[in-house]
């Protein structure tokens, strides 16, 4: 197992929601080429990738296919090849205000922190176990410090272990 040095000074790692231009496109046609089908979320609790919070009962949302690595690669010129994947994400059906705070969203469960190189290849991953919300910031900061301690890491995806769904990305500070 290769280990990488962690930062000695506190580094802030920012959870990045899906960007405004991508959201505008996704609210029309998703990354699989399908038109959106909005619905009212009667139960609440859906992880919204536009504002990095869980939905409230009665909110108007949509489940779309999203290709986060493909969109990042288009910005950077990377060629992720077979690592270019897409999957389901929930977003508000209409424009929203975006994230209301900082910190690490969607905590309280097992998460993976997956590292990507400048060319879009997976470098590795780490399971992050968060026993309670109070421990989340420290657990994720340690995982991100480890990930970005590898000089080859350019981008990190945080994913749900249960379904493998993309939750948010963190870029090199």
**Average confidence (pLDDT) per 10 residues, the chain, 173 residues:** 40 89 96 95 96 96 97 94 93 94 79 95 92 80 94 95 90 86
Tokens of 50: 């536009």
Instruction: Return the pLDDT at 9.
Output: 47
3-state secondary structure of 115: strand
Instruction: Return the pLDDT at 11.
Output: 66
Q: What are phi and psi of 158, to 5 degrees?
A: -100, 130
Tokens 């270019």 sit on residue: 84
Tokens of 72: 């990042």
Tokens of 41: 């979320």
């Amino acid at each position: 197992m290769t280990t990488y040095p962690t930062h000695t000074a506190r580094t802030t790692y920012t959870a990045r929601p899906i960007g405004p231009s991508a959201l505008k496109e996704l609210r029309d046609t998703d990354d699989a080429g399908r038109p959106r089908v909005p619905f009212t979320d009667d139960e609440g609790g859906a992880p919204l990738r536009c504002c990095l919070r869980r939905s409230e009962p009665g909110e108007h949302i949509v489940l779309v296919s999203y290709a986060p690595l493909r969109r990042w690669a288009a910005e950077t010129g990377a060629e992720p090849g077979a690592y270019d994947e897409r999957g389901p994400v929930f977003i508000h059906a209409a424009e929203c205000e975006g994230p209301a705070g900082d910190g690490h969203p969607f905590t309280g469960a097992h998460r993976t922190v997956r590292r990507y190189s400048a060319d879009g290849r997976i470098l590795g991953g780490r399971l992050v176990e968060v026993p309670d919300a109070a421990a989340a910031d420290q657990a994720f900061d340690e995982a991100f410090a480890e990930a970005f301690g590898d000089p080859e890491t350019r981008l990190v995806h945080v994913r749900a272990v249960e379904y493998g769904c993309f939750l948010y990305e963190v870029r090199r500070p």
